[in-house]
Homo-oligomer: A and B are copies of this chain.
Amino acid sequence: MRNLFEIDAWKIIEQKFDLSKQKQAESIFSIGNGAFGQRANFEEYYSGDSLQGSYVGGVYYPDKTRVGWWKNGYPEYFAKVLNACNWIGINIEIDGELMDLNVQKPSTFYRELDMQTGVLTRRFKVKFAQGKELQVESIRFCSMDDDELAAIQYTVTPLNFSGYIKFTPYLDGKVYNHDSNYDEFFWEEDSHKVDIQKAYLCARTKKTNFSVATAMRFSFWRNEELLNIHPNISSSDFYVENNFEHFVEQGNAYTLKKYVSIVSTVHHSEFSVIPRSINKVREAYVSGFNSLLDAHKTAWKNIWSKADIVIEGDVAAQQGIRFNIFQLYQTYTGKHAQLNIGPKGFTGEKYGGATYWDTEAYCLPFYLKTAEPAVAKQLLVYRYNQLDRAIENAEKLGFKNGAALYPMVTMNGEECHNEWEITFEEIHRNGAIAFGIYNYVRHTGDSDYLKDKGRKVLNGIARFWTQRFNWSKDKKQYVMLGVTGPNEYENNINNNWYTNYIAKWCLEYALKCESEFASETNPLLSEKECVDWKHIAENVYFPKLEGTRIFLQQDGFMDKEQLSVADIPVSERPINQHWSWDRILRSIFIKQADVLQGLYLFKDHFDLETLRENFDFYEPKTVHESSLSPCVHVVIAAAIGRMDKAYELYLRTSRLDLDDYNHEADEGLHITSMAGTWLSLVEGLAGVRIGEDGLTINPSIPEAWKQYHFEILYKNQPLRIEVNQHGGTIENLGSSELSLILKNQAYAVSSMEKITF
């Protein structure tokens, strides 16, 4: 393991300026507030290798699709989150020489991301060509308290001189997406205005017409004293600045406090974005940096009070899990039903910042257990709002009668992905979305969403499955041909066990909900539909290995050469970088949990022996070449008592980005797989599971740890779980009694009661 940055329980710390890892650091030290986010680019000019990135949730551009060979049904565009106005910019110049850490190379450098407070701090000393030395400190945050605000406190101290320094705070909207397919510029200017110590810039996305207003104000201080300055103002297309030269005295600290507001038409009308951003930034200016910072810290405190996991005895593990929780909340807070969780969050551009099935399969359980139900519910509402588009998507592929196929990748409900084997065939995503509804209900006990909205989603999905199955005269059962399962190292396979299973379950769950609510509300299904669905659900074909409990991943699986991962030379790993695609496809090797993904979701349906046989069959064949893979194996391994294996796999995921295992942290972080890591710990190591029979807990602890504890929310009751090497405690912090099964024994835990095991 290589630790890129310092190990600390609450902080990410960089002690040295290392040119070669700036892009990694830009990702790792990213800050965000669920509405927008900012890579850890420098405020001052930087000529080194950098991915300048500022992303505003929900603002996307339909970038023209790039394909090799067009297939009928491909989407015309890939909606991607846009790199938006650079709001952090503050240039520093002495004697005509711009401060640029790529040129002057700092003699000391310290960067710290405090995850407890969500504050990014940077301190360095730098010497200009003529020997003038500056001490610089920048502190910035994206407010968790008000997600249209950010602030920067930028302090320079002349160490060995008195003289003039030029300060240039600016906004720059001329920003390009690095992942643009055709090197297009995605923005047009709406308007801008600049005045003394204030400015705004409003840019509009081409085609989608999102307006984003970015407003700034700033003040200038010597030590604690507010200074009067007379900056020059300047502007051009997509650019506004103030600049002023100030005579600074050696040993004194000069601080520029820059307040920024980012307001978009994702949440407000076209007419209000500019005045709102101006008003917000004025209010921020009046409140002052410290008061905004306090509110921000309080908001983080509230999040941590529910979501923290404390690990004692292993600081690296502690830092790893907190980093994941921190990044997830930086990406998504549940305040807006228009937003979702992009695989890279606000830390990079890859995957377009769009919504994948990762949301339901990995992230939803995290938010369900660590935040009020309203947070997770927004993710469900997001899909509900896109139901019409999902029906249109299905129609484009030849389905009818309200069948809904949710897209593989989306911003607005339309499909963006254009690889037929994924777009058209990796349809199990529909199942994950249905399962998300079920998962929400069993966690929260709230069935209102289900009754009014969820059922419509379930029925659309069920209609899709009924049409997607076909009757095999040969097998005299329903089969599902030409799919790609979660294991994307197989394409166009028949009867993927996982897809067939979740499809069958969807039909049954939709029917169950119909029978539960049809009397209260109006029936949504015809009698014929109910009969047909039942017939299909009862007659689905599943591939099995005769004489065992093993479910076969797909038809023909046993024709493959029966190898295990140990047979692959180390020099050929990861296989996706060494083997041609056809070789990967026909090999037995599994990219990520597939049958096991089904056993994970539907664990209640299977006995332990079934889990064990399947785990032993599939784990040796799984190369885990997706960051989403090991977590599911951890949960199953823990369930069958393979704690060593569980912990070994947990370690693979727990510090994926912090230690940059995959050498791609420079492009952004694996936000959604961070939820997988959290799952590994809570559902895997701690064995916390909310199933059909309610809450079960089967805690275990790695030998390397002394103790760990965390809280979960279950039926909106907080429950504290502490595990140590000798046992642990379960404490009901809620106001009602909670039933649970701890290590196979049923308990009813009263309010404020603590049980010891």
Interface membership of A65, Cβ < 8 A: yes
User: Is the beta-carbon distance between B473 and A558 smaller than 8 angstroms?
Assistant: yes
Within 8 A of B (CB), among A59-85: 65-69, 71-73
Chain A 435-477 against B: per-residue CB contact (8 Å), 1 yes, 0 no? Answer: 0000000000000000000000000000000000011111100
Chain B residue contacts of A580, Cβ below 8 A:
71-73, 396-398, 424
Interface membership of A579, Cβ < 8 A: yes
User: Is the beta-carbon distance between A491 and B494 smaller than 8 angstroms?
Assistant: no
Q: List 30 A-B contacts (CB under 8 A).
A: A67-B68, A68-B68, A69-B419, A71-B580, A71-B581, A72-B576, A72-B577, A72-B580, A397-B582, A397-B583, A398-B579, A398-B580, A420-B581, A420-B582, A424-B580, A424-B582, A471-B561, A472-B560, A473-B558, A473-B562, A479-B559, A481-B560, A482-B582, A482-B585, A482-B586, A491-B491, A492-B492, A494-B556, A495-B559, A556-B556
- Bound-state CA distance A595–B69 (Å) is 26
- Bound-state CA distance A540–B351 (Å) is 43
User: Is the beta-carbon distance between A559 and B472 smaller than 8 angstroms?
Assistant: yes
The answer to whether residues A559 and B66 also contact, given A73-B580, A581-B424 and a CB cut-off of 8 A, is no
Given A71-B581, A73-B581, A425-B582; 4 other pairs, CB 8 A cutoff: A424-B581, A424-B582, A472-B559, A481-B586
Nearest Cβ in chain B — how far from A390, in angstroms?
15
Q: Which residue of chain B has the shortest Cβ distance to A424 in the bound complex? A: B582
User: Is the beta-carbon distance between A558 and B474 smaller than 8 angstroms?
Assistant: yes
- Bound-state CA distance A482–B554 (Å) is 13
- Bound-state CA distance A367–B482 (Å) is 40
- Bound-state CA distance A24–B257 (Å) is 69
User: Is the beta-carbon distance between B556 and A481 smaller than 8 angstroms?
Assistant: yes
Q: Which residue of chain B has the shortest Cβ distance to A582 in the bound complex? A: B424
Within 8 A of B (CB), among A557-588: 558-562, 576-586
User: Is the beta-carbon distance between B472 and A558 smaller than 8 angstroms?
Assistant: yes
Interface membership of A418, Cβ < 8 A: yes
- Bound-state CA distance A398–B558 (Å) is 22
Chain B residue contacts of A659, Cβ below 8 A:
none
User: Is the beta-carbon distance between A72 and B578 smaller than 8 angstroms?
Assistant: yes
**What residues of chain A have their CB less than 8 Å away from a CB belonging to chain B?**
65-69, 71-73, 396-398, 418-420, 424-425, 470-475, 479, 481-482, 491-495, 555-556, 558-562, 576-586
User: Is the beta-carbon distance between B555 and A73 smaller than 8 angstroms?
Assistant: no
Chain B residue contacts of A581, Cβ below 8 A:
71-73, 420, 424
Residue in A68, A419, A473, A481 with the greatest tally of chain B CB atoms within 10 Å: A68
Chain B residue contacts of A471, Cβ below 8 A:
561
Q: Which residue of chain B has the shortest Cβ distance to A492 in the bound complex? A: B492
| Set B66, B397, B475, B479: member contacting A68, Cβ < 8 A | B66
Q: Which residue of chain B has the shortest Cβ distance to A559 in the bound complex? A: B472
User: Is the beta-carbon distance between A582 and B68 smaller than 8 angstroms?
Assistant: no
User: Is the beta-carbon distance between B398 and A585 smaller than 8 angstroms?
Assistant: no
Residue in A396, A473, A556 with the greatest tally of chain B CB atoms within 10 Å: A556
Nearest Cβ in chain B — how far from A577, in angstroms?
7
- Bound-state CA distance A259–B367 (Å) is 79
- Bound-state CA distance A472–B559 (Å) is 5
Main secondary structure of the interface of A (DSSP, over half): loop
- Bound-state CA distance A556–B67 (Å) is 30
Nearest Cβ in chain B — how far from A575, in angstroms?
9
Nearest 9 pairs between A and B by C-beta?
A73-B580, A424-B582, A482-B586, A474-B558, A71-B581, A481-B586, A67-B68, A472-B559, A397-B580
User: Is the beta-carbon distance between A68 and B419 smaller than 8 angstroms?
Assistant: yes
- Bound-state CA distance A576–B471 (Å) is 24
| Set B495, B576, B578, B585: member contacting A492, Cβ < 8 A | B585
- Bound-state CA distance A69–B417 (Å) is 10
Chain B residue contacts of A586, Cβ below 8 A:
470, 481-482
User: Is the beta-carbon distance between B559 and A556 smaller than 8 angstroms?
Assistant: no
Q: Which residue of chain B has the shortest Cβ distance to A480 in the bound complex? A: B586
Q: Which residue of chain B has the shortest Cβ distance to A422 in the bound complex? A: B69
User: Is the beta-carbon distance between B420 and A475 smaller than 8 angstroms?
Assistant: no
Nearest Cβ in chain B — how far from A723, in angstroms?
43
Chain B residue contacts of A479, Cβ below 8 A:
559
- Bound-state CA distance A397–B583 (Å) is 7
User: Is the beta-carbon distance between A561 and B470 smaller than 8 angstroms?
Assistant: yes
Nearest Cβ in chain B — how far from A623, in angstroms?
14
Nearest Cβ in chain B — how far from A622, in angstroms?
19
Chain B residue contacts of A584, Cβ below 8 A:
72
Q: Which residue of chain B has the shortest Cβ distance to A557 in the bound complex? A: B474
Chain B residue contacts of A585, Cβ below 8 A:
482, 492
Nearest Cβ in chain B — how far from A571, in angstroms?
13
Q: Which residue of chain B has the shortest Cβ distance to A490 in the bound complex? A: B492
- Bound-state CA distance A396–B495 (Å) is 31
Q: Which residue of chain B has the shortest Cβ distance to A545 in the bound complex? A: B474
Chain B residue contacts of A558, Cβ below 8 A:
472-474
Q: Which residue of chain B has the shortest Cβ distance to A66 in the bound complex? A: B68
- Bound-state CA distance A555–B472 (Å) is 13
User: Is the beta-carbon distance between A73 and B419 smaller than 8 angstroms?
Assistant: no
Chain B residue contacts of A69, Cβ below 8 A:
419
| Set B65, B473, B482, B583: member contacting A398, Cβ < 8 A | B583
Q: Which residue of chain B has the shortest Cβ distance to A427 in the bound complex? A: B582
Chain B residue contacts of A73, Cβ below 8 A:
579-582
- Bound-state CA distance A419–B559 (Å) is 25
Q: Which residue of chain B has the shortest Cβ distance to A584 in the bound complex? A: B72
User: Is the beta-carbon distance between A72 and B555 smaller than 8 angstroms?
Assistant: no
- Bound-state CA distance A474–B419 (Å) is 32
Chain B residue contacts of A424, Cβ below 8 A:
580-582
User: Is the beta-carbon distance between B396 and A470 smaller than 8 angstroms?
Assistant: no
Chain B residue contacts of A561, Cβ below 8 A:
470-471
The answer to whether residues A72 and B579 also contact, given A471-B561, A558-B473, A560-B481 and a CB cut-off of 8 A, is yes
Chain B residue contacts of A397, Cβ below 8 A:
580, 582-583
Chain B residue contacts of A71, Cβ below 8 A:
580-581
Q: Which residue of chain B has the shortest Cβ distance to A561 in the bound complex? A: B470
- Bound-state CA distance A560–B494 (Å) is 10
Chain B residue contacts of A577, Cβ below 8 A:
72
- Bound-state CA distance A73–B582 (Å) is 9
Nearest Cβ in chain B — how far from A479, in angstroms?
5
Chain B residue contacts of A396, Cβ below 8 A:
580
User: Is the beta-carbon distance between B491 and A492 smaller than 8 angstroms?
Assistant: yes
- Bound-state CA distance A498–B562 (Å) is 25
- Bound-state CA distance A578–B495 (Å) is 25
- Bound-state CA distance A71–B583 (Å) is 11
Chain B residue contacts of A470, Cβ below 8 A:
559-561, 586
Q: Which residue of chain B has the shortest Cβ distance to A575 in the bound complex? A: B72
Chain B residue contacts of A492, Cβ below 8 A:
491-493, 585
Chain B residue contacts of A419, Cβ below 8 A:
68-69
- Bound-state CA distance A471–B563 (Å) is 12
Nearest Cβ in chain B — how far from A331, in angstroms?
24
Nearest Cβ in chain B — how far from A317, in angstroms?
34
- Bound-state CA distance A482–B579 (Å) is 15
